[in-house]
A and B are shown apart, each in its own frame.
Chain A
């Protein structure tokens, strides 16, 4: 419990710090200081600059907020969809449940990375970086619900077969009435699903970015930053820059996971 509390506070602190960095005067994640590419830490750029002379601290902070917000929204969408479909499958007719789970399996078998790439290349070219980031996370959500739905389905089916449900049905409660008491009982299942999906989406976006197909320039993304790790020449020159980013992702994921531990 103490770990959970600490994790939640640390996470909140990270978000506040990122917001503070970005609201500071003259902070810009996109302005190129062309006289100082790959600059070391200085008063002007506390974490140095990237290959195009952009402030790293501002970029890491913006990426943190962007990817956390995007992942949280995507996760909320996923969990809501999963709750609806999972509950419908568990409490509906047998063939409805069977069909819903079949669709889940089909979705899980899809090569999601290629799907994402296809969607990316089908987007109108003038889609602004902000909307393309939003679309990326929405597509991630659209592809991410089945695993969650299966978990909800299993939980809801146990609920349906539980003794008090049996009594309720025997007592003549209609499906719609039962639903009202089912949803609160599913919350202990849905909340962790929501929380564990967030890091999964952060990673999915980072992976997409590491392929060069994530969030568009000049918006920063952690995946895009880590893309440069692919190249040992830069890696060895500037490891003090990239390892913190990688470390930050790891810490963030562990914090989220710990905060989600119920």
Chain B
């Protein structure tokens, strides 16, 4: 019976494969040797480019953040714009002219002097279509931007039209030596790229001519260098962190956070809600291939509000995230200092109110099953992406929450390409549960989600004209915040959008996942921030103390 033996062998092998992750844990690789005083942590993949103008992925962005000198820095901790290479800056009242005054005596890392010519060249390079810089489109019409340099320390940027949040755009423009782009080898920031080994590590060394000093006049950065190991595996990362090979871990999943907390409680920190949201929504698109009565449910405000009221968000946070998430009722997280509005009134967990609301809207309960006025039993599916443990758990919890209303929910995890195909192309789905990562706290960055004619207006993409009066009002309010230079007026407009979204529930917000980090007690100067890069936004002030 050779086949039989072979099959038993195959069966055993398959079981071994199921245990493979556990086995891998015991034979984790070693990190590259560390130089004295060097900081080390991991990035998930190879940076796609070291050219600061072409950055389009998270890891390249981190390298740019650590190496590039910029005119203005968006302080990740205070969430305010601070001048960096610029001594001062101002924006004309019409919002079309920016004037930067550089510090005197600025130098690049190779010792050559940094003047307004280098600044003008760097900005022009970013604006050129040939460069393909993703930042360029934030200027709205990059081809119309002109730059003057009346003297070696003054740069004047003329914009063809007002751009909201223009200051923050300069946080992403690295100032490089004119006509000598170096892919991070010659910079005006705290570090320079020293060595890169594909799939192994990126090594940065301090810029000897960095302009900033600490309060006592000691030159920054403190660290003798930074090594970014390219490592995708959380298991290995945590193991090496425990062995002191790595100094910090940003964005820990909740279960690993708990594991690490058990071993070294002093090293982990829950920073509270992130800017990111997890939400579910119903497909309201009139062209969706769904039965007419289902579309009628999903387009009914009462139905959406009842579903929102039936969901126990505290349970989602406590069970799916092990307590490391915060119930969410709006798209602006409490972590967003400038834009959060505590006065938003949103539906809270209240099953009795949900039942009453459904009854008022013509739904009725029949043998424990919710039916619409025509007698169709209410049942629908919730899509989510396969492999995301927290989302699958939330969907399964919501399944039971909605069973209390007599609604039968099917949870369908799909692989990501199949999911996107349904969301973006065929629109063949009923409800979906996904998250949104917000890197930029300014709600202007969410224009493409809220404007009704946008293809990313998920519940009903690319509307020719707003389908409802409240969507028209969202459009008006979002356009108002985008065209106003008055911060109070912008805030008012965004608050209004938040209240409409809370009333109408096109997105049913579920939780803000918390920012979970870990760092070595020997790492001094650390000031964890909720915005990326959470732990190393002040990398130049970080240093290691004691022997490891």
Contact = CB atoms under 8 A, between A and B. Distances in A.
Interface of A: 30-32, 34, 37, 51-53, 117, 120-121, 125-129, 151, 192, 196, 199-200, 203, 206-207, 210-213, 216-218, 226, 229-237, 246, 249-250, 253-254, 257, 260-262
B386 A232 contact: no
Contact of B19 (A31, A246, A260): A246
Interface in B115-169: none
Contacts of B3: 151, 196
B12 A250 contact: yes
B44 interface: no
A250 to B, nearest CB: 6
B88 interface: no
B478 to A, nearest CB: 31
Contacts of A257: 4, 7-8, 11
* 6 shortest interchain CB distances as A-B pairs: A121-B418, A233-B255, A212-B386, A125-B381, A233-B259, A253-B11
Given A51-B319, A250-B15, A261-B1, A125 B399 contact: no
A203 B3 CA distance: 16
B15 A237 contact: no
B54 interface: no
Nearest to B400: A32
Q: Which of B10, B258, B396 has the most CB of A within 10 A?
A: B396
B383 interface: yes
Contact of B396 (A210, A217, A231, A261): A217
Interface in B1-47: 1, 3-4, 7-8, 10-12, 14-15, 17-19, 21-22, 25
B368 interface: no
Contacts of B312: 34
B334 to A, nearest CB: 25
Contacts of B414: 120-121
B15 A212 contact: no
B393 interface: yes
Contact of B8 (A151, A210, A235, A253): A253
Contacts of B258: 233, 237
A230 B428 CA distance: 31
Interface stretch (B58-66, B351-359, B405-413, B532-540): B405-413
Contact of A213 (B11, B386, B393, B397): B386
A128 B17 CA distance: 30
Interface of B: 1, 3-4, 7-8, 10-12, 14-15, 17-19, 21-22, 25, 235, 253, 255-256, 258-259, 312, 315, 318-319, 379-381, 383, 386-387, 389, 392-393, 395-397, 399-400, 410-415, 418, 428-430
A232 B236 CA distance: 11
Contact of A218 (B10, B25, B389, B399): B399
B424 to A, nearest CB: 15
A212 B413 contact: yes
Contacts of A253: 8, 11-12, 15
Contact of A217 (B22, B411, B429): B411
Contacts of B381: 125-126
A229 B7 contact: no
Contacts of B11: 199-200, 203, 250, 253, 257
Contacts of A249: 15
Contacts of A246: 15, 18-19
Given A129-B410, A216-B412, A231-B255, A226 B18 contact: yes
B259 A212 contact: no
B18 A210 contact: yes
Contact of B413 (A213, A226, A232, A262): A213
12 contacts: A34-B312, A34-B318, A52-B393, A121-B415, A126-B430, A129-B410, A192-B4, A199-B8, A203-B11, A206-B18, A231-B21, A236-B259
Nearest to B8: A257
Contacts of A236: 259
A229 to B, nearest CB: 6
